[in-house]
Amino acid sequence: MENEDKTGMTGDKPKSLLFISIDFPPARTSGIYRPVFFTKYLIEAGWDVTLLTASTHLSTFADDSLADDVNPNMGVIRVSAPMPRRLTGKIYARYKQSAEGAQGTGARPTLKVRLLTLAKKLILSPAFRLIDNFILIPDNYIVWCMKNMPKAYRIIKKKRITHVLVTSQPQSVQVMGLMLKYLTGIVLISDFRDSWTDHQPYRYKLRERVEKFLENKVLIKAGAIINMSEGDLERLQARKPALPREKLHAITNGYNERDFADLPASGPPNPAAPLRLVYVGTMYPHSGDTTVEALRILKERGFGPTDVELSIIGFPDDSFDDLARRYDVAAMIRNIGFMKHAALLKAYGDFDVMYLVTGGTPYYHPGMLPGKVFEYMRAGKPILHSGLDGSAHQILAKSGLEIFVPFDDVGGIAEAMVNLIHRHRNSDLHMKPDWDFIGSFEWRCLGGRLNEILSHLR
């Protein structure tokens, strides 16, 4: 490539990028970090970046913690679209409220409730199932993508965009990127935070065939394909051996060093206090089962809430809470709920051990790499990882912070917790982190990798 330099320029012609992401602050999802930090450092590298995002979002949580990291030189265009799932959700909520109200009185349901029940059974449920499975393909946001396709086309033409990067989920934006490629001939970069069709529980073969057709077209037409881990790339390459290996790239999530710069230092450990473990994020159905079973073993061995406390900052599934009550270990668990990102980072100093689970549900597979891994590492504390021998384990093992136990080894999880309790009592929780390795996952480094990939695409 002639006269290329690290600023994202080819000769005297500047490169311009349209970055399409449904997830962007203030919506609080795990997908907001890549569009914020990738665009931040691409602009610093000399790219002219415009970001197209949604002004309507299915996420009900808002967090403006990342506002200061959005590059002020980026044009952010927020566009709306009808949200079918919000409409269906409101209809179901109205039905549920009426039905529960009738049940609460103990009286025979009113004619209105009986009619709503009949309508739900005969009309609403089949209609919503038809819409979800055969119209909203690949997902609910296809409406947003189709409505705003003309907007994206005009941006490309007006700003003379040379590259379009789409990041998913939702996978509908990949369809949008594909159509823009056909319409304008731009260089398409497809970033998959989660794989598209791998291990999806499709109910209908027709739906599966349509999605796999669309996915295949995206993979062929994209100039570069970015996945979250080497494990994801290996799975994709095994499924699509004809894909040129040189167009496949792994760029993980990362952490922002500035977030940790002003945090207060953790105080000296208090051996008299319980060992405090923290799990951040969603505890998916049954992913927490072996954790609760391990706590039951601790309880049988005489340990209790004065010895160990597991805090959940996020959303534990009902199955997790139910199992904890059934095994009588709920006193060792503290459900803190949702926390904004800035507050979450400050809270890290209150805990002794970071806890990670990567198993128990089809959502987790060997290539899966939760974004929390990188902030866990940067916190510099022991990381107890109950999970799969996959990408997360391979990275954490190199950090010098991981204590790994296979997900289904309940006895091993319990033994690791007991060992940590004793180390805590002896003020001996110190680990030896490899800071050079951990530092390679700072967002500035990851943005530099993306710049190198994009700068070699024409």
Query: For residue 27, what are its two tokens?
Result: 């919506």
- Total domains in the chain come to 3
Task: Provide the pairing of β-strand 9-10 with 13-14.
Answer: antiparallel
What confidence score (pLDDT) does residue 120 get?
63
Cα-based angle 176, 181, 186 (whole degrees, multiple of 5): 125
Domain boundary among 102, 118, 134: 134
Please indicate, yes or no, whether residues 56 and 179 belong to a single structural domain of this protein. yes
- In-domain check, residue 4: no
Please indicate, yes or no, whether residues 392 and 345 belong to a single structural domain of this protein. yes
Q: What is the pLDDT of residues 158-186, one digit of tens each?
A: 999 999 999 988 999 999 999 999 999 99
Would the pLDDT of 6 be above 50?
A: no
Which of 30-34, 84-88, 245-249 shows the lowest per-residue confidence on average (mean pLDDT)?
A: 84-88
- In-domain check, residue 363: yes
**Do the beta carbons of residue 187 and residue 162 sit within 8 Å?**
yes
Residue 316: partners with Cβ closer than 8 Å, 6 or more residues away: 282, 283, 288, 335
Among 52-66, 76-90, 179-193, the range with the most confident prediction by mean pLDDT is 179-193
Please indicate, yes or no, whether residues 50 and 160 belong to a single structural domain of this protein. yes
- In-domain check, residue 419: yes
Please indicate, yes or no, whether residues 376 and 448 belong to a single structural domain of this protein. no
What confidence score (pLDDT) does residue 315 get?
82
What confidence score (pLDDT) does residue 59 get?
57
Query: For residue 165, what are its two tokens?
Result: 């990067």
Q: What is the pLDDT of residues 120-152, one digit of tens each?
A: 666 666 666 666 666 778 888 888 899 999 999
Tell me the CATH number at 368: 3.40.50.2000
pLDDT bracket for residue 43 (50, 70, 90): very high
Please indicate, yes or no, whether residues 158 and 246 belong to a single structural domain of this protein. yes
pLDDT bracket for residue 71 (50, 70, 90): confident
Q: Would you put residue 243 in left (φ > 0), alpha (ψ -120 to 50) or beta?
A: beta
Domain boundary among 134, 159, 174: 134
- In-domain check, residue 3: no
Domain boundary among 134, 151, 173: 134
pLDDT bracket for residue 93 (50, 70, 90): low
- In-domain check, residue 159: yes
Please indicate, yes or no, whether residues 283 and 179 belong to a single structural domain of this protein. no
The structure's pTM equals 0.80
Please indicate, yes or no, whether residues 319 and 366 belong to a single structural domain of this protein. yes
Please indicate, yes or no, whether residues 95 and 153 belong to a single structural domain of this protein. no
- In-domain check, residue 146: yes
What confidence score (pLDDT) does residue 194 get?
83
- In-domain check, residue 1: no
Please indicate, yes or no, whether residues 328 and 410 belong to a single structural domain of this protein. yes
Please indicate, yes or no, whether residues 333 and 207 belong to a single structural domain of this protein. no
Residues of the domain holding 46: 9-83+140-254+443-455
Please indicate, yes or no, whether residues 90 and 158 belong to a single structural domain of this protein. no
Please indicate, yes or no, whether residues 357 and 229 belong to a single structural domain of this protein. no
- In-domain check, residue 44: yes
